[in-house]
């Protein structure tokens, strides 16, 4: 998996600063289902594949580009 030892941790660190109500709506709208489907259909993905999928999903779910951020684990340097 091209440098991603824990893809679920990685995806959870893809952050968008949006109101909680919008966050709930995104998940109700199928975010988790879409993510799980892609994850199951792409077991040999690369970091680039994952970054592209995340970016596309944020676009598909109308998450403003200006609100997107990436959070590394404390002390991880990523």
Domain for residue 44, yes or no? Answer: yes
Domain for residue 1, yes or no? Answer: no
For 51, the domain range is: 7-70
Number of independent structural domains in the chain:
1
Domain for residue 76, yes or no? Answer: no
- What band does 1 get if pLDDT is binned at 50, 70 and 90? very low
Domain for residue 77, yes or no? Answer: no
Domain for residue 2, yes or no? Answer: no
Distance, in Å, from the CA atom of 37 to the CA atom of 15, rounded to the nearest integer, reads 20
pTM of the model: 0.70
Instruction: List, for residues 36-54, the tens digit of each pLDDT value.
Output: 999 899 888 888 898 899 8
Domain for residue 11, yes or no? Answer: yes
Instruction: List, for residues 11-28, the tens digit of each pLDDT value.
Output: 777 777 888 899 899 999
3-state secondary structure 5-50: CCHHHHHHCEEECCCHHHHHHHHHCCHHHHHHHHHHHCCCCCHHHH
């Amino acid at each position: 998996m091209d440098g991603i030892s824990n893809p679920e941790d990685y995806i959870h660190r893809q952050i968008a600063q949006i109101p909680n109500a919008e966050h709930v709506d995104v998940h109700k709208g199928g975010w988790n289902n879409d993510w799980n489907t892609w994850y199951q259909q792409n077991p040999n993905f690369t970091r680039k594949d994952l970054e592209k999928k995340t970016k596309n999903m944020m676009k598909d779910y109308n998450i403003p580009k200006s609100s997107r951020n990436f959070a590394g684990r404390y002390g991880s340097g990523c």
